[in-house]
């Protein structure tokens, strides 16, 4: 058992933790005041298995305190003009910029993604703040022609109230940013439950946001936080005071969340599993294919929801791509290590549970007759490190190929044609991201058309991962159907009112009905 003196927060290498206002023991609940009356848990660094710091989690009682404070704060926040709310979000973006590197290091230390990705994730929150500032001045309604003389037919959007956000470990800050920045300019207050295994990221981020609110003499409870377990998540799903619940996680848990929210006729935004395919046509630029596939498969140690899980190769290029990909993998095997090391390209899996799932999946590959072309092993030593793995020999419709391991395992499949590859792309339950590499314009328009990819993200000549904030992010089928970030995703955080105003002295009925 580690003593507090041995926690990483007391190690000079991790001095950035104290720059973020973290301590050896941290309160995990913020409702305008920092507190917590739940279990004392330890945050573990996946690069070495050591304790970073402790967190006093929240209970359901703490959650109720947060929701009530958030509801009170909404009456202040909703009264502010949208551009004024945008100004506050702009300041949040600036405050995040000031802490970009230490917060990025915290993401790397607690989640396990390499430092450029950790910093990049914080940058996503900064970018969505910038986007939201512009949105705050362009939240548009509409005026439609009325069929009745002396009448105006309008459409107006109003804030919902309290928006709940339950985020996942793999993007412990960006998902909150996508939701909160948009929700806040829309006039909602936000109650956040971060992943149980990344509470320090949640706390450090909440401290930055709270500082901006307090500086502007606004209630801190505009952005509340309740770190906690499944009991808090269940309370959020069942609570009618939560007007919209955004959940990011597995399809299995998301299904339960969605049903629970629907029972109370609430609104939900679900961002769930992905089983993403990258298709390579016979005319593809193979240099681009190998470069794109390498990052899409092994980036974040295979723990992105948009990670490439299935590589579907046209039979004419199958051998060449597989051979080149194995060589590319060999070049990065020596750069697996501590996520904070500048030389590292592949960090650890996030937890012991993730490591066990990887080992179980590789064993099942062998049992089902698949071939491990490369990798497939745990790396001995401290931390939760594995070799990125390439698997061949399984059928396109095998149970393993149709499930998501959430580790750096890619299944390589051989297709007779692009048409067959599209069918295989679409046959899995999930529908998040997809990509086709081709130079053929007919292939491109078939792929993006009604009989093409059935995913929410449909790419051409870029990998399945790395979505931009300007577009709506999300997927279809078992991925949940929710949309975050750009485009018109903001509409999910508001309620639509259709308004008819009679400015005449007459009272005609619609459709010419006479009631005399």
* Residue positions annotated with a catalytic role: 271
**Residues near 282 by beta carbon (within 8 Å), at least 6 away in sequence:** 314, 316, 317
Hey, what are 170's tokens?
């793999």
Q: Using alpha carbons only, how large is the chain's radius of gyration in Å?
A: 24
The total number of residues shown for the chain amounts to 516
d(CA 192, CA 238): 15
What would the DSSP string read from start to end of 340-358?
TSTT-SB---SSHHHHHHH
CA distance 427 to 421: 10
Instruction: Count CB atoms within 10 A of the CB of residue 445.
Output: 11
Q: What are phi and psi of 208, to 5 degrees?
A: -65, -45
DSSP string computed for 280-344: E-TT--HHHHHHHHHHHHHGGGG-STT-EEEEEEETTTHHHHHHHHHHHHHHHGGGB--TTSTT-
User: Which structure tokens are listed for 253?
Assistant: 């848990």
Q: Which phi and psi (to 5°) does residue 491 adopt?
A: -65, -25
Dist. CA 375–CA 387, nearest whole Å: 5
Pair of tokens at residue 63: 């959650």
Neighbours of 514 (CB within 10 A): 6
Helix ranges (DSSP H) in 81-186: 82-98, 100-111, 115-135, 174-185
**DSSP secondary structure of 486-509:** STTGGGGGEEEEEEEEE-SS--PP
Helix (H, G, I), strand (E, B) or coil at 124: helix
Task: Point out which residues pair with 232 in neighbouring strands.
Answer: none
Q: Are 293 and 312 in contact (CB under 8 A)?
A: no
Directed axis angle between helix 82-98 and helix 174-185, to 10°? 150
For residue 419, give every residue at least 6 positions away whose Cβ sits within 8 Å of its Cβ, in sequence order, or none.
Answer: 446
**Separation CA 122–CA 96 (nearest Å):** 7
Query: Residue 492 and residue 494: Cα distance in Å, rounded?
Result: 6
Q: CB–CB of 239/67 below 8 Å?
A: yes
């Amino acid at each position: 058992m580690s003593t507090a003196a041995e926690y990483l927060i007391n190690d000079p290498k991790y001095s950035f933790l104290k720059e973020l206002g973290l301590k050896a023991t941290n309160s995990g609940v913020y409702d305008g005041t920092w507190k917590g009356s739940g279990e004392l848990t330890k945050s573990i660094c996946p690069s070495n298995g050591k304790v970073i710091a402790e967190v006093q989690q929240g209970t359901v009682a703490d959650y109720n305190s947060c929701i009530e404070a958030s509801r009170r704060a909404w009456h202040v926040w909703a009264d502010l003009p949208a551009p004024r709310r945008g100004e506050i979000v702009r300041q949040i973006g600036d405050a995040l910029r000031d802490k970009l590197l230490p917060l990025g290091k915290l993401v790397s230390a607690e989640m396990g993604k390499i430092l450029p990705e950790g910093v990049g994730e914080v940058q996503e929150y900064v970018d969505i703040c910038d986007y939201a500032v512009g949105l705050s001045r362009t939240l548009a309604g509409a005026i439609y022609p009325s069929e009745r003389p002396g009448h105006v037919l309008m459409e107006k959007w109003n804030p919902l109230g309290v928006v709940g956000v339950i985020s996942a470990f793999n993007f412990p800050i960006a998902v909150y940013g996508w939701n909160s920045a948009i929700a806040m300019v829309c006039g909602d207050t936000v109650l956040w439950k971060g992943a149980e295994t990344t509470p320090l990221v949640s706390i450090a981020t909440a401290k930055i946001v709270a500082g901006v609110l307090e500086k502007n003499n606004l209630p801190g409870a505009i952005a509340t936080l309740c770190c906690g377990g499944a009991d808090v998540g269940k309370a959020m799903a069942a609570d009618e005071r939560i007007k919209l619940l955004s959940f990011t996680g597995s399809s299995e848990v998301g299904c339960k969340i969605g049903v629970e929210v629907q029972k109370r006729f609430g609104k939900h935004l679900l961002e769930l599993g992905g089983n993403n395919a990258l298709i390579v046509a016979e005319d593809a630029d193979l240099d681009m294919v190998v470069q794109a596939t390498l990052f899409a498969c092994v980036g974040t140690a295979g723990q992105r929801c948009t990670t490439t899980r299935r590589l579907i190769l046209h039979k004419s290029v199958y051998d060449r791509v597989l051979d080149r990909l194995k060589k590319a993998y060999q070049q990065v095997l020596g750069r697996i290590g501590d996520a904070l090391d500048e030389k590292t390209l592949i960090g650890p899996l996030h937890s012991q549970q993730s490591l066990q799932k990887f080992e179980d999946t590789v064993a099942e590959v062998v049992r089902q007759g698949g071939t491990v072309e490369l990798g497939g092993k745990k790396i001995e030593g401290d931390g939760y490190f594995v070799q990125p793995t390439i698997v061949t020999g399984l059928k396109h419709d095998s149970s393993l190929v149709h499930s998501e391991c959430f580790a750096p395992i890619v299944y390589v499949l051989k297709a007779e044609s692009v048409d067959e590859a599209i069918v295989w792309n679409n046959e899995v339950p999930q529908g998040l991201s997809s990509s086709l590499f081709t130079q053929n314009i007919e292939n491109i328009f078939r792929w993006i058309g009604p009989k093409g990819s059935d995913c929410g993200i449909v790419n051409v000549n870029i990998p399945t991962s790395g979505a931009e904030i300007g577009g709506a992010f999300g997927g279809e089928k078992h991925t949940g159907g929710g949309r975050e970030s750009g485009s018109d995703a903001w509409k999910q955080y508001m309620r639509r009112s259709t308004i008819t105003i009679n400015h005449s002295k007459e009272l005609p009925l619609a459709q010419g009905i006479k009631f005399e």
